Structure 1
Amino acid sequence: MIYKSKLIYLLLAIGLVLSACGQNEQGSSEGEESEKETTNSNENKEASDKASSETEEGANSEEEDAGFVEAYKQGKEELAKAEEDKEVDYQKVIKVYNNNLKSLVEKRDSSIDQQITTALEAGKNGELDGAIVKQIFDKLSQKVFYLTIKHEFQEINENWGNTEEVNAEIAEAKEFYQVLEGTVEKRDAAYETSMVDQIQAGFTEIEKAVENDDQLAFQLGKQVVDKTLMKTFYLAAGAMPHGYATKAAKEAEEDPAHAKVEQAEGWAFYQSISSYLTEYAKEDAAIIEENFNLETDVKKLDPEAVNKAFVRGFSKVALHEYEESEENWGKDKSVITALEGALFIDMISRDIKRMQGEDMANTLNEQAQTYLDAVKADEKEKAMDVLEKIEGTLNSINEKTK
């Protein structure tokens, strides 16, 4: 691995860019919160108009979308040569990126463009290991595709009632998901999960919702796709035993250079999910960021601390969703946030099982489902009774993972 004096400045620059990125993401997260306030058509239009004013753009053609994906694949393929100690044509990657992918990245988040551009230039100048550059380009591009899926869901909201336009946007979201499916499949294989099937079920629910003009069903299907992708990124970054925090820590003593690449990969995966934790669990998010930050000595990376921070953080996010659900009883938002609470619990169900036992994990999942069903059925007394138990368990998990 090549290190030069300029690298310290480079890492500081990436860190500053990351801070700006986190702020932008938080704004996006808050925008999504406002979007799910209601499925009333007029209020949805107001939320959509706000989203449109923040990101002015027209719809992409199929050729443009295919061009974005192809540019990503070409760049990733060329940068992968670094992992085989082969010479990388960085100028080729920079040209492909600037001409064919940069415009999409800038639409989603200009901070990501700064990160990718900085990394590519550092690789070209020999200031950053090529394998690290590859991970930054690859995983931050995946974040862009993930954000694009979320953007398409916003456009479906905005254009609800225009079936032709909405179906085109669903197709666009699914096209970008295809880029991420390999990442999902790898986590399914490592953890024996079925996230590919869950995401497909979410898209199927969305398509049926459009057919039946059922906006609530669309919102629920959207949450399944979104939160299952978040779970994928978490399993890749901080879950045990196959997350990159664990991999990097194990590798640190024998091969620090390779461990540094794995640390970078964990950092890059984390960027896709950092906004929720930054917003609702700042202290836990700071622990994760400190361990993954490229300025941190990889030998000091603590995978258990990272994992516990994720568990606490997602527990706090789940508690927030349940609070929203209770506050909005009788509205569609109560159902939507009830599902989100259950999905955030599902993200850490393996951790709860490992830390607290299978019985607690199963009971918590069952309670989350019971609460969701009670909200749908407008059975408030039953819902509040089980919600008290859910909140007690989540608070207990937070205390036990400190």
Structure 2
Amino acid sequence: MKKRELKKIFAGFLIASAVLTGCNTSKETAEKEEKTQVETKETEKEAQNEVDYPAVFQEAVTELAKASEGKDVDYDKVIDLYTTNLQGLVQERDKEFEDTIDQHITTALEAGKEGTMDKVVVKQIFDKLMQKVFYTTMKHEFVEVAENWGKTEEVKEEIEEAKVFYSILSTTVQKRDAANGTTMVDVINGGFEEMEKAVDSNDQLAFQLGKQVVDKTLMKTFYFATGAIPNGYATKAAAAAKENAEEAKVEQAEGWAFYQSIYTYINKHAAEEGAYILSQFDLETDVTQLDPAAVNKAFVRGFSKVAIDEYKESIEAWGEDKSVITALEGALFIDIIGQDIKGLIGEAEYTALTEKAQKYLDAAKAKDKAAGEITLKEIEATLQTVIEKAK
């Protein structure tokens, strides 16, 4: 694999934040921008309705998977499937989330065609980065629900569209459930059910809570696929490297590509941990030096810091719906690394932590700030202990 190709794929993954426009935007300009946004949304919806994303994605992945069987891959076919059916969606998410997924996928497919990148690695990059796009498209649909709240039919349509994209990701969730003895599929299905009930009862807070359950459970899925021990790709790559470093690069690439779905979130709240994990999965990093225990601890510290930040937002927004939503988010981030926390502080202390998380959530719902503040201090103290033990 040529180093220049690696640099194209892995260097500078995040685009710098967009430059803010001046405050003196005229009314006419603002109206034009609003009209353009509406037209863009309508165009995107029309394009989505014309593409059977699950079928096209599966066809492309099936073709790329021939590399694992030692067969020739028809890259022209895959590139055509991508540019004709998927690229538009990818570019929309790139624009919305300031990302560069299209660049990485395009470069990987061209490198596979030219023979400058391991063909199995190409498949993993395409597969997992497209999964990120489907995941962020679900998030996009949820934003559309919030913007169109009150328009029942439109909202229900947005949720159904989100479920279509989830159907593509469900296999990944099922695999992680099977490997880790979890029931994330049931949790996600329950989250969707709560959202649908919320629409019928016109309860926007209930919708937001159901959305958080779906979103954070998918983040838990991506964590299990990357940094969890013993079934994450950090562990798999390190083990494989003892036998064959080149073949281990495939697991390292899978870890890198899966990590992209949660990297931005972790990096925002725990930059040091986020960058370390990214460097470990980078294919320019010697896979024989990959340290799965250190990666796991970085994830534990990172998600603990995320949880603390969510709780801080909750107390600052006390009395508002946002306080309840971020209280639930804090609890869900604790759940993501629940098994790790249990291993660090013991089952009894972990059970106490989850009970306090529930107590705080109840206080936020009841707007009982005195009870919330006391419980929050206890939660933060435990999470700080977890961070120290995970160093």
Alignment TM-score > 0.5, same fold: yes
**Correspondence 1:102-251 to 2 at 5 A:** 102-109=87-94, 111-251=100-240
Preserved CA contact (<8 Å) 1:68 1:104: no
Question: Please, which of 292, 305, 309 is the counterpart of residue 298 of structure 2?
Answer: 309
Paired letter, 1:77: T
Residues 1:63 and 1:323: Cα distance change in structure 2 (over 3 Å): closer
Paired letter, 2:263: S
**Greater Cα offset, 341-350 or 362-371:** 362-371
Preserved CA contact (<8 Å) 1:287 1:305: no
Once the two structures are TM-superposed, the CA of residue 56 in structure 1 deviates from its matched residue by 3.3
Question: Please, which of 53, 63, 70 is the counterpart of residue 55 of structure 2?
Answer: 70
Preserved CA contact (<8 Å) 1:83 1:131: yes
In structure 1, C-alpha distance between the alignment counterparts of 2:311 and 2:148, rounded to whole Å: 29
In structure 2, C-alpha distance between the alignment counterparts of 1:280 and 1:65, rounded to whole Å: 38
In structure 1, C-alpha distance between the alignment counterparts of 2:129 and 2:5, rounded to whole Å: 17
In structure 1, C-alpha distance between the alignment counterparts of 2:147 and 2:368, rounded to whole Å: 31
Preserved CA contact (<8 Å) 2:220 2:336: yes
1:115-174 deviation line (CA, Å, top 9, x unaligned): 000000001111100110000000000000001100000111111111111111111000
3-state DSSP class of the match of 2:41? Answer: coil
Preserved CA contact (<8 Å) 2:54 2:167: no
Question: Please, which of 322, 326, 335 is the counterpart of residue 337 of structure 1?
Answer: 326
Residue aligning to 1:13? 8
Once the two structures are TM-superposed, the CA of residue 19 in structure 1 deviates from its matched residue by 3.0
Task: Kindly indicate whether residue 51 of structure 2 is the aligned counterpart of residue 56 of structure 1.
Answer: no
1:38-64 deviation line (CA, Å, top 9, x unaligned): xxxxxxxxxxx99x9599322525973
The structure 1 segments of at least 4 consecutive aligned residues displaced by more than 4 Å after TM superposition are 52-55
Residues 1:62 and 1:201: Cα distance change in structure 2 (over 3 Å): farther
Paired letter, 1:135: Q
| TM-score where L is the length of structure 1 | 0.89
Preserved CA contact (<8 Å) 1:67 1:101: no
Preserved CA contact (<8 Å) 1:153 1:222: yes
In structure 2, C-alpha distance between the alignment counterparts of 1:258 and 1:135, rounded to whole Å: 13
Residue aligning to 2:82? 97
Paired letter, 1:217: A
**Correspondence 1:294-373 to 2 at 5 A:** 294-373=283-362
Preserved CA contact (<8 Å) 1:245 1:306: yes
Preserved CA contact (<8 Å) 2:51 2:85: no
RCO higher in structure (CA 8 A, sep ≥6) = 1
In structure 2, C-alpha distance between the alignment counterparts of 1:340 and 1:361, rounded to whole Å: 17
3-state DSSP class of the match of 2:58? Answer: helix
In structure 2, C-alpha distance between the alignment counterparts of 1:94 and 1:196, rounded to whole Å: 32
Paired letter, 1:352: I
Preserved CA contact (<8 Å) 1:315 1:394: yes
Task: Kindly indicate whether residue 377 of structure 2 is the aligned counterpart of residue 393 of structure 1.
Answer: no
Preserved CA contact (<8 Å) 1:238 1:245: yes
Q: Which runs of 5+ in 1 are unaligned?
A: 28-48
Preserved CA contact (<8 Å) 1:195 1:228: yes
1:326-380 deviation line (CA, Å, top 9, x unaligned): 1111111110000000000000001111222211221111111111011111222
Once the two structures are TM-superposed, the CA of residue 381 in structure 1 deviates from its matched residue by 1.7
3-state DSSP class of the match of 2:285? Answer: coil
Number of equivalenced pairs:
372
3-state DSSP class of the match of 1:189? Answer: helix
Q: Which runs of 5+ in 2 are unaligned?
A: 19-32
Paired letter, 2:40: E
In structure 2, C-alpha distance between the alignment counterparts of 1:276 and 1:373, rounded to whole Å: 26
3-state DSSP class of the match of 1:88? Answer: coil
Residues 1:243 and 1:54: Cα distance change in structure 2 (over 3 Å): farther
Paired letter, 1:100: N
Percent of pairs with identical residues: 58
Question: What is the RMSD of the two structures over their aligned residues, measured on CA atoms?
Answer: 1.9
In structure 2, C-alpha distance between the alignment counterparts of 1:123 and 1:366, rounded to whole Å: 50
| TM-score where L is the length of structure 2 | 0.91
In structure 2, C-alpha distance between the alignment counterparts of 1:316 and 1:55, rounded to whole Å: 39
In structure 2, C-alpha distance between the alignment counterparts of 1:55 and 1:230, rounded to whole Å: 31
Once the two structures are TM-superposed, the CA of residue 259 in structure 1 deviates from its matched residue by 0.9
Preserved CA contact (<8 Å) 1:248 1:298: yes
